[in-house]
Amino acid sequence: MKRLGILTSGGDCPGVNAVIRGAVLGGDVAHGYEFVGFRDGWRGVLEQDAIPLPRTGVRGISRLGGTILGTSRTNPLVGNGIEGVRACFRRNGLEGLIAIGGEGTLAAARELCAQGINVVGVPKTIDNDLGATDYTFGFDTAVQTATEAIDRLRTTGESHHRCMVAEVMGRNAGWIALHSGMASGAHAILIPEHPVSLDQVCSWVLSARDRGRAPLVVVAEAFAPEGHAAPYAPRGLDTFGRPRLGGIGLLLEGELQIRTGIETRATVLGHIQRGGEPTAFDRVLATRLGLAAVESAAAGRWGTMVSLRGTDIVNVGLEEALGELKVVPEARYQEAAVLFG
């Protein structure tokens, strides 16, 4: 019987389980594929930590947050990794591998394909910052979760006549801030793509207060005020030497309170945005991507990833897909900025 492996790697993301279920069901029904799941990303491949994934094993999982397979940031290209991946293919009789992950995972997949190993990618990130796909699954859920939290901040902010600052995720891009800020009616949305001065933020805050509103500021974790070279990252580096973002909201809390005289409170939403059940939109998108990934494998389109273009799921070469980050275009920022203050 033909067999495919599946792994989930990098940060988790609501909807990953729906991709797994879509792939297993589609592969089973349309092609008679058997599936093997690898635990904790590439670690499971290298250490041959595998579990069978029969149709019954993915029953009802598309509404579950996280990933039933677990995830890690193990790099398959380090040391003897590539030989380890080949050995895993041989031992499990794999025709190919479906790798669900972000730009890091897909970069590893691209290199493995260049070495003759069959991989199909499924892009994943709540940040929505991957080029070559209109939306990533998990983004809608993160925006929904952030918006619900910000709505709550508004009612307490209004009761106390305070300025509320909500900090949301987004390592390289302000998509979550832009969408949750617009949905919740923020008086200022601060994103890394468009640095503004603290004076400008204060003027939006004061103008909202002068109209009798409790000012609401939504800030992306990677935002740096004009004049600051890098995002605020006081928590050191992650295991890959990348700065751990988070905390700009607290910095703004102090600055805005001193500069405007308005009592200010900041909330950092953090990993709350990445956990929990995916929205219906993300379940549908993720399921379609899983189904399409299996079609790619069956057609031998290795070295590609599946992606959303308009309302269609298409195939894109990993080379092209990893070309550039998708950041918020200036026109989208200016459209939202009309609502500020």
Cα-based angle 174, 276, 21 (whole degrees, multiple of 5): 100
| Cβ pair 8, 70 in contact under 8 A | yes
Q: How many CA atoms lie within 13 A of 103 on its CB side?
A: 17
Q: Does 126 bind ligand FBP (CB under 6 A)?
A: yes
Give dist(CA 230, CA 232) in Å, integer: 6
Q: Does 75 bind ligand ADP (CB under 6 A)?
A: yes
CA distances for 90 relative to 84, 85, 95, 110, 121, angstroms: 10, 9, 9, 20, 20
- Tell me: is residue 1 an annotated ligand-binding position: no
Give dist(CA 44, CA 85) in Å, integer: 10
* Of the residues 88, 132, 169, 322, which one makes contact with ligand FBP according to CB under 6 A: 169
CB of 130 to ligand FBP, least distance (A): 9
Could you tell me which stretch among 68-76, 161-169, 302-310, 330-338 binds ligand ADP (CB under 6 A)? 68-76
Nearer of residues 171 and 283 to ligand FBP, judged by Cβ: 171
| Cβ pair 219, 167 in contact under 8 A | yes
| Cβ pair 17, 137 in contact under 8 A | no
- Tell me: is residue 126 an annotated ligand-binding position: yes
Known catalytic membership, residue 282: no
Give dist(CA 291, CA 313) in Å, integer: 10
Q: Does 104 bind Mg ion (CB under 5 A)?
A: yes
Helix runs in 212-276, H state only: 248-260
The structure tokens 């003759």 sit at 116
CB of 145 to ligand ADP, least distance (A): 18
Query: Strand pairing partners for 295?
Result: none
Q: Which one of 12, 28, 49, 127 is the catalytic residue?
A: 127
Site string for ligand ADP, 28-67 (x = CB under 6 A): --------------x-------------------------
- Tell me: is residue 162 an annotated ligand-binding position: yes
Query: Strand pairing partners for 96?
Result: 4
Q: Does 225 bind Mg ion (CB under 5 A)?
A: no
Q: Does 73 bind ligand ADP (CB under 6 A)?
A: yes
Q: Which amino acid is at 270?
A: G
| Cβ pair 105, 322 in contact under 8 A | no
Nearer of residues 102 and 290 to Mg ion, judged by Cβ: 102
- Tell me: is residue 265 an annotated ligand-binding position: yes
Q: Does 149 bind ligand ADP (CB under 6 A)?
A: no
- Tell me: is residue 211 an annotated ligand-binding position: no
- Tell me: is residue 104 an annotated ligand-binding position: yes
Instruction: Identify which of 190, 322, 206, 302 has the alpha carbon closest to the alpha carbon of residue 251.
Output: 190
Q: Residues in the site for ligand ADP, rule: CB under 6 A?
A: 9-11, 42, 73-75, 77, 101-105, 107-108, 111, 125
Q: Residues in the site for Mg ion, rule: CB under 5 A?
A: 102-104
Residues within the annotated binding site for Mg(2+)? 103
Residues acting as catalytic residues: 127
Q: Residues in the site for ligand FBP, rule: CB under 6 A?
A: 10-11, 102, 125-127, 169-171, 238, 245, 274
Residues within the annotated binding site for ATP? 11, 73-74, 102-105
